[in-house]
Amino acid sequence: MYQVRVEAEFAAAHFLSHYHGKCERLHGHNYRVRLWAQGEKLDAGGMLIDFSLLKGVLREICGTLDHQNLNEFTVFSGDPSAERIAKYIFDETASLLAARGGRAELLWAVEVYETPTSMARYERD
Q: What is the pLDDT of residues 12-57, one digit of tens each?
A: 999 998 887 787 888 999 999 999 999 999 999 999 999 999 999 9
Q: What is the pLDDT of residues 50-61, one digit of tens each?
A: 999 999 999 999
Distance CA 115, CA 53 (A): 26
Distance CA 85, CA 33 (A): 10
- 114 tagged catalytic: yes
- 67 tagged catalytic: yes
What is the CATH number for 9?
3.30.479.10
When divided into structural domains, the chain yields a total of 1
Q: What is the pLDDT of residues 86-117, one digit of tens each?
A: 999 999 999 999 999 889 999 999 999 999 99
The residue annotated as part of the active site, out of 29, 92, 111, 114, is: 114
The residue annotated as part of the active site, out of 24, 27, 67, 83, is: 67
Q: Which domain holds residue 116?
A: 2-123
- 23 tagged catalytic: yes
Region 58-87: what's the mean pLDDT? 96
Distance CA 81, CA 78 (A): 9
